[in-house]
Amino acid sequence: MFQFARIKLTLWYLLIIMTISMAFSAIIFDFTTREVHRFASAQRHRIQELLELDEFFFSNRPRKMPLIIEIDDEELITEVQKRTLISLGIVNGIIFVLAGGLSYFLAGKTLQPIQEMVDEQNRFISDASHELKTPLTSLKTAFEVFLRDKNPQLTDSKELIQESLIDVNKLQYLSEALLTLAQFQQPSEKHTFSRLNLNINITSTIKKIGPLAKTKRIAIKINLNDLYVTADQYKLSEVWIILLDNAIKYSPEKSTIIITAKKSGNCAEIRVSDQGIGISQKDLPHIFDRFYRADSARSHQKGNGFGLGLAIAKKIVEQHRGTITVTSNEEKGSTFIVKLPLLKK
């Protein structure tokens, strides 16, 4: 499809360039013809004057040699026109070949971002459908098995509903996460950025996630300086939720998570450190990719998460003109570092 579009665009570029080139050629041809006419007529006048002078000075003397000058203007003009046409033809031929190559190259460059966007969207759709398929198939199978039972018991029904709810929750989380990611693709998305105290934003987020940490008896320690940034408080809060949720998910019971926020140059540097399973060197470069789940995490936390959290966190941080990076030691823990442009108090 893109090859066809590229060729079509190349032909359009070529048509435009050749139209301009031909128009200039026509102007050059017309100009040259006029100039030759003008030159021939001026030449004729000059010779005429010379002949008249000759007549005047030598009219009383016999001429040694008769002066016969014959000028064929038409032949000269036709010859010049022929040569001009040949030269312009050669130049246009060269322009055609060069412009053809250049147009093909430019058409490729023009279409490249569109192709990348379409590829990205196709990948997104195929990844999303793949992820949606698993819980949906499991729901469908459970319902079908249940329906085959001629005398279902109330306890069985309750059990089925409870199990189904787990899948429904997963589907709900997945659809919400996909929607959030899809919103980042829209350039028209509105931001409601305002001056924000990071300390307050992080502390209030910790309050929300506290109960989850308690289920694993994980302690969350904070060391936050009073720093101000321009941000969308809800979106930024989402980043801390994703990082803390992961830290809790991938940490053993009774471990500690530390959050620090300090000034680093012109940035606010926020670190979320855990004492969890860590991330292998092989997985580190990919963990911010959409739908990427590290092997170790998959085996420990089977069926938990879709690999979308960090992709969303990265998009949000980038929207705030910040960066997010990670350092990790397997079996020792990970530290996620978020840097955001600092606002003066």
Q: Which 66-105 positions form the footprint of ligand ADP (CB under 6 A)? A: none
Closer residue to ligand ADP, CB minimum distance, 177 or 231: 177
Work out which of 213, 244, 247, 259 binds ligand ADP, going by CB under 6 A: 247
What span, in angstroms and rounded, lies between the C-alpha atoms of 199 and 225? 7
* φ, ψ of residue 288 in degrees (nearest 5): -90, 0
What span, in angstroms and rounded, lies between the C-alpha atoms of 82 and 76? 10
**Residues 317, 324 contacting (CB under 8 angstroms):** yes
| Least distance in angstroms from the C-beta of 325 to ligand ADP | 13
Of the candidates 269, 196, 267, which has an alpha carbon nearest to the alpha carbon of residue 234? 196
What span, in angstroms and rounded, lies between the C-alpha atoms of 176 and 190? 18
Quick note: the x/- pattern for ligand ADP over 267-306, rule CB under 6 A, is -------x-xxxx-------x----xxx--x-------xx
10 Å Cβ neighbour count for 301?
Answer: 14
Closer residue to ligand ADP, CB minimum distance, 128 or 279: 279
| Least distance in angstroms from the C-beta of 314 to ligand ADP | 9
Q: Does 334 bind ligand ADP (CB under 6 A)?
A: yes
| Least distance in angstroms from the C-beta of 263 to ligand ADP | 24
Q: How far is CA 20 from CA 15, 92, 169, 240, in A?
A: 9, 10, 62, 58
Structure tokens at 215: 């289920």
Work out which of 250, 261, 268, 270 binds ligand ADP, going by CB under 6 A: 250
Work out which of 103, 201, 237, 246 binds ligand ADP, going by CB under 6 A: 246
| Least distance in angstroms from the C-beta of 286 to ligand ADP | 8
| Least distance in angstroms from the C-beta of 239 to ligand ADP | 11
**Residues 241, 208 contacting (CB under 8 angstroms):** yes
* Residue 128 CB-density burial (10 A; 0-12 exposed, 13-18 middle, 19+ buried): buried
Quick note: the x/- pattern for ligand ADP over 16-55, rule CB under 6 A, is ----------------------------------------
Closer residue to ligand ADP, CB minimum distance, 45 or 332: 332
| Least distance in angstroms from the C-beta of 326 to ligand ADP | 8
What span, in angstroms and rounded, lies between the C-alpha atoms of 12 and 6? 10
Applying CB under 6 A, which part among 20-28, 69-77, 130-138, 309-317 lies near ligand ADP? 309-317
SS3 state of residue 281: coil
| Least distance in angstroms from the C-beta of 243 to ligand ADP | 7
Structure tokens at 104: 């093909």
| Least distance in angstroms from the C-beta of 140 to ligand ADP | 24
Of the candidates 81, 90, 120, 100, which has an alpha carbon nearest to the alpha carbon of residue 18? 100
What span, in angstroms and rounded, lies between the C-alpha atoms of 32 and 146? 92
Give the CB-nearest residue to ligand ADP: 305
Closer residue to ligand ADP, CB minimum distance, 309 or 322: 309
Alpha helices, DSSP H, located in the chain: 2-58, 73-148, 154-185, 198-215, 233-249, 295-300, 309-319
| Least distance in angstroms from the C-beta of 288 to ligand ADP | 7
Work out which of 308, 317, 324, 338 binds ligand ADP, going by CB under 6 A: 308
Site residues (vs ligand ADP, CB under 6 A)? 242, 246-247, 250, 274, 276-279, 287, 292-294, 297, 305-311, 334
